[in-house]
Structure 1
Amino acid sequence: MNGAAALALTAGTAQAAAVTEKLVIVQNGENIGTVTGTTDGASVSVDYYVDDNGRGPKHKENLTIGAGGIPTSWTVGGTSLMGGSVNESFKWEGGQASWTSQADKGAVPAAKAPLYVVNDDSPWALGVYARALLKAPGNSLPLLPAGTMRLVKVKATTLGAGKDALPLTLYRIEGVNLQPDYVLLDKAGRLFATFGGHYLTIRQGHEKEAHAIQALGAEAERALARDRQKALAHRYTQPVRIRNVHVFDARTGTLGGLSTVIVLRDRITAVMPSDQDPFGGNGAQPDDQVIVDGQGGTLMPGLHDMHSHTTLDSGLFYLAAGVTETRDMGNDNAFLQDMMPRIEAGELAGPRITPNGFLEGRSPYSARFGIIPETVADAVKAVDWYADRGYFQIKIYNSMTPDWVRPIADEAHKRGMTVTGHVPAFDTPDRCIRDGYSEITHINQLMLGWLLKPEEDTRTPLRLTAMARAADLDLNSAPVQATVKLMVDGHIAHDPTAVILERLMLSRAGVTPPGDVDYLDNMPIGYQRYRKRTFVPLKSPADDQAYVKAFGKVLETLKLLHDKGIRLLPGTDDVTGFTVHREMELYTMAGISPAEVLRLSTLSPEEYMGHGDLGTVERGKLADLVLIAGDPTQDIRAVKKPRLVMKGGAIYYPSEIYQSLSIKPFADAPPVTVPKVMEGPGDSLGAPGLFGGGHDDDLGD
């Protein structure tokens, strides 16, 4: 070999040793971020950048890959979703594994490197996990700091055809987060794509295949959701007799004496005092009905989340929490139009959905879903598109041009819709109300009107961080009182989502947030750690105290609005149901009675949306019902442990749902007796038990 050839070979070998892979993050057809990984032997460096609606994680990672594809070191540095600092590290050496993250830190003896789950991770991490799991016995590995991760092969597929054909394999990663993650690997085991929720991460150069990949992912997610619905929805052709319950009257805010409630499919056919129930005593029971023993608990109408963004996974979480209806405040329109009829038909689990049409303006900070009109004429046409499809309201977002609000609202009113939303950047709540809003979304959007200077831009994280200024806000000041008067005079409603403000403003690294205390220990390890982080930038102890004091002012504002007769619409901007419970609890912390909060969370939304068939437990009403053990009119926290939920003619047992989602249940199912003649295979017969419990005559004893 001559010198030139040797030099060329050496250069080629060096070039091959370092491989750079770039993926792009896509939302609603637009690129919002990148993931760039460079592998040089066992060393990997990753650059992760997301700019979604003015926010998103931005950090760098460095890994060393050891035996079995398991990292022996992993560092992450940068900022998280809302700008909070990230400085995470893991290392295995000398028979010991140690780690430090926002959530926790520790050190444990380890004969070999454990699979560490990164707290502030990126899509790249999913490829690392998948490759390690492929080499593990049973495609399963114990995790540090806790838990177990599993890899499930979903299907092999081919992208493209002929010489451009690219064989890929789709896998599902389970056991760490609330929802499974999906990854596509090529034949070499390299990451080609990940997806979940409304994001898609795909190898650069293949963006034209994004639609095909999203369709593949959607079908995989739907298949899993369909299987879970078949296993968890219990349907009966005969009456279901719920005995020994106290019925919550949402009109009066009181509990009645012991009663029996009878349901046939999806309608309530009887509500009667127990002493008038012909089968109420002496152990007597009809031999052709399903009997539920409420054991003295409370039967109430289903709860609502008046600020949701539906996902394929959200349905079971909502039902397990007793949430039987949501208002979707903005979504990928094609996804939602496909999803809603599937839920209505019983193919997929989920609450009833009332959709709002999302309109955003065009700017570098735009949210990438709903419709982003380029002109005011396009915005008016978008209103008509939503109206033709029966959407309840128009929701306006941060980047909308303030001068477009009035023509949008005029068209919405003409089409029988009202308008809600954020206060667009450089606009004010007062002007939005005058221009046609009938509701303001998010309590920070309302309060920022009293805190910001006219030139400040709320398309950025300022819409959160500026809330620290509320610490010294005078609620008796002229600006506050002027806005409140406008709301009272115009019958303007408010959707506070106070729980999300609490989560962000009071988030602190290594600490369980106050709103998560009652449920977090039951959750998968990845979600537990995700919640124990600082989302807001804190430069000093004074910043910390300002946020704490400011959130106290949020609660005072809630009480002020309620006392003035302004309709509050409990919502969360989340999809788990746990935050619905906390939103309700926050209202009681603000000084609103538990009984009134229950009314706000059951009957009041139905009145607001004109749904006369729901909201109370009465003969002829739809049987969207929740059974809990305690008395929520005395302690609102009782709603956090539903035992049985009915919706759409199906019975769900939260204990079963949580077991299927790798969550430790919070309450047992009530005793249920199914007549022997009705027992048998299939989800329309038999007693609950597909995720534990079997076909016993009495469940919960």
Structure 2
Amino acid sequence: MPQHATDKLLRTALACFLLLFCFGALAQEPVHSGKREIVFRAVHVIPMDKERVLENQDVVVKDGVITALGNTGKVTYGKDALVIDGKGKYLMPGLAEMHAHVPPVDDFAPMEEVLQLFALNGITTIRGMLGHPRHLQLRDRINGGELISPRFYTSGPSFNGNSVKTPAQAAEMVREQKQAGYDFLKLHPGLTPETFAAIAKTAKEVDIPFAGHVSYDVGIWPAIVAGYASIDHLDGFVEGLVPGLDSIPEQEAGLFAMYIADEADESRIPKLVNALRENNIWVVPTQALAERWIAADKAPEALRQAPEMVYMDAATLEKWTSAKKDMMQHPKYDAAEIADYIKLRQKLIYESNENGVGLLLGSDAPQVFNVPGFSTHHELRYLVDAGLSPYEALRTGTVNVGRYLNRPDIGTIKAGAAADLVLLAGNPLKDITQTQNIEGVLVAKRWLPKAYIAQELKKLEKR
């Protein structure tokens, strides 16, 4: 072959290699929807306004907002749009994790890592349930578009038996957190009826919601009347079903009343769920916490080997393993009774949903064997196990969240809605585990394709 022909062949091969290399590199980077339109073409849409699938739709997004939705080929968009082939795939609203924990530390790095895990798993809104002053700066950075992160709502530092000793101190702490700009107050155990009353009264005066645990000495009925924005973990629910609770010390009841569930009078459940509905109390069950930490049928060593545990460091896994082993070795722990306790929690979830109580999706991650992002999908499955349909379970992390936050643009797919979207390979209305079969995520105005998600998850592996 002549030299000039060889040189031409080499130049052509090099050009093709560079083109393929550049295309591959681009495929691993997020695309910002503020700079160009993003179009999901011929995709099946799960709008979440009702249980239905809109087949073969074109969905157009620009600058973080859905601008158009219609039958494929009937929707116009610019010639420079990024077109994503959605044929045979399903597009649903991004999920919310309404009981998340962002590390309450001064260092942004571990916070950003947790946010990444959520976003890469299709979680586009989170509610941080243990606040820290640095979280206010973190929220500003997220809102400013600096991070690929879910939308972030944050509580202030915890109100509990150690941080609040008097009603006056409680009231002052409420005012301070309102002034600082936190979204809501987080209540933990250990509050007295007097300190709790001061928190609730002052919170209403300054107009800031409060949510979280129900202290044992306060009890579920005063908590409901006081107007929690949400009660999490079903805290106080089982206690509210137990006759003669006043004579049972808190330490004998166990975590979330796990040791006295056999004394619960289930005929009281209608009264409980009716009170929750009538007082507009939202509920975040965090059943994943009970199923993975408390339940006896899931051995700690088996949970430790779950694929997502690769994202947790060895020290954390050791702590989680010890926490579960310690619980199972407690003298009052009986595997059969704990199984009945889990069933009672499932019944409370089911009856709440059936009777119009607003449920919100949350798994308490990172917490014992609940890895951020991954555990939100586990929670969906546990809700279905409790008797909810896949559609009802999905509502807890989509449209219900929009209602709770008074954001009708969140949790549905329609023109004008926020473009928080997850592209799935299968239909989660038929199989809830399909929410884990992610082809891409649109979060914080950025499209994260499957290859990018895999690449970034690989970087986050600890072992």
Q: What one-letter code is carried by the residue in structure 1 that aligns with 2:80?
A: D
Q: Which moved more, 1:461-470 or 1:485-494?
A: 461-470
* Matching of residues 279-358 of structure 1 within 5 Å: 287-311=79-103, 312=111, 313-332=113-132, 334-358=133-157
Q: Does structure 2 retain, via aligned residues, the 8 Å contact 1:512–1:531?
A: no
**2:6 matched residue in structure 1:** none
**2:183 matched residue in structure 1:** 392
**Separation (CA, whole Å) in 2 of partners of 1:605 and 1:550:** 28
**2:60 matched residue in structure 1:** 262
Q: Which moved more, 1:249-258 or 1:436-445?
A: 436-445
Indicate whether 1:485 and 2:262 are aligned.
Answer: no
**1:639 matched residue in structure 2:** 435
Indicate whether 1:572 and 2:368 are aligned.
Answer: no
Picking from 652, 662, 677, the partner of 2:461 is 662
Which whole-Å deviations, capped at 9, do the CAs of 1:591-617 have from their partners, x for residues lacking one? 111111112210111111111332211
Offset at residue 521 of structure 1 (A): 7.5
**Separation (CA, whole Å) in 2 of partners of 1:335 and 1:457:** 37
Which whole-Å deviations, capped at 9, do the CAs of 1:520-553 have from their partners, x for residues lacking one? 4866784777766535133689812221221122
**Separation (CA, whole Å) in 1 of partners of 2:305 and 2:59:** 34
Indicate whether 1:245 and 2:36 are aligned.
Answer: no
Change (3 A) 1:309 1:254: same
For structure 2, the residue ranges without an aligned partner over 5 or more in a row are 1-27, 104-110, 367-371
Change (3 A) 1:344 1:561: same
Offset at residue 393 of structure 1 (A): 2.9
**Separation (CA, whole Å) in 1 of partners of 2:385 and 2:192:** 37
- Seq. identity, %: 24
* Matching of residues 433-582 of structure 1 within 5 Å: 433-451=224-242, 453-454=245-246, 456=248, 458=250, 463-464=254-255, 466-471=257-262, 473-476=264-267, 478=268, 480-506=269-295, 508-509=298-299, 511-513=301-303, 519-520=307-308, 526=314, 534-538=325-329, 543-575=334-366, 576-582=372-378
Which whole-Å deviations, capped at 9, do the CAs of 1:394-442 have from their partners, x for residues lacking one? 2322122211222321221222233322111322101222334343221
**Separation (CA, whole Å) in 1 of partners of 2:122 and 2:176:** 32
SS at match of 2:454: helix
Which whole-Å deviations, capped at 9, do the CAs of 1:85-118 have from their partners, x for residues lacking one? xxxxxxxxxxxxxxxxxxxxxxxxxxxxxxxxxx
**Separation (CA, whole Å) in 2 of partners of 1:488 and 1:346:** 37
**1:383 matched residue in structure 2:** 174
**1:609 matched residue in structure 2:** 405
Which whole-Å deviations, capped at 9, do the CAs of 1:432-467 have from their partners, x for residues lacking one? 223343432211432233348325554x69542741
Which whole-Å deviations, capped at 9, do the CAs of 1:455-503 have from their partners, x for residues lacking one? 5554x69542741432563422x4x443333223222221111110111
Q: What one-letter code is carried by the residue in structure 2 that aligns with 1:512?
A: A
Offset at residue 304 of structure 1 (A): 0.5
**Separation (CA, whole Å) in 2 of partners of 1:558 and 1:336:** 31
**2:17 matched residue in structure 1:** none
Change (3 A) 1:545 1:384: same
Q: Which moved more, 1:626-635 or 1:432-441?
A: 432-441
Q: Which moved more, 1:640-649 or 1:504-513?
A: 504-513
Higher Rg: 1
Change (3 A) 1:350 1:244: same
Q: How many residues align?
A: 414
RMSD of Structure 2 on Structure 1 (CA): 2.9
Offset at residue 349 of structure 1 (A): 3.0
Q: Does structure 2 retain, via aligned residues, the 8 Å contact 1:568–1:600?
A: yes
**TM-score normalized by structure 1?**
0.55
**2:69 matched residue in structure 1:** 271
**Separation (CA, whole Å) in 1 of partners of 2:342 and 2:407:** 33
**Separation (CA, whole Å) in 1 of partners of 2:317 and 2:55:** 40
**Separation (CA, whole Å) in 2 of partners of 1:548 and 1:660:** 38
**Separation (CA, whole Å) in 2 of partners of 1:272 and 1:591:** 33
**Separation (CA, whole Å) in 1 of partners of 2:300 and 2:272:** 38
Which whole-Å deviations, capped at 9, do the CAs of 1:188-215 have from their partners, x for residues lacking one? xxxxxxxxxxxxxxxxxxxxxxxxxxxx
Which is richer in strand? 1
**Separation (CA, whole Å) in 2 of partners of 1:249 and 1:447:** 35
Offset at residue 386 of structure 1 (A): 2.5
Q: Does structure 2 retain, via aligned residues, the 8 Å contact 1:505–1:548?
A: no
**2:425 matched residue in structure 1:** 629
Which is richer in helix? 2
For structure 1, the residue ranges without an aligned partner over 5 or more in a row are 1-230, 280-285, 367-371, 665-701
Higher relative contact order (CA 8 A, sep 6+): 2
Q: Does structure 1 retain, via aligned residues, the 8 Å contact 2:101–2:128?
A: yes
**Separation (CA, whole Å) in 2 of partners of 1:268 and 1:554:** 38
Which whole-Å deviations, capped at 9, do the CAs of 1:617-639 have from their partners, x for residues lacking one? 12222211111110011111100
**2:213 matched residue in structure 1:** 422
**TM-score normalized by structure 2?**
0.81
Q: Which moved more, 1:412-421 or 1:496-505?
A: 412-421
**Separation (CA, whole Å) in 2 of partners of 1:400 and 1:447:** 19
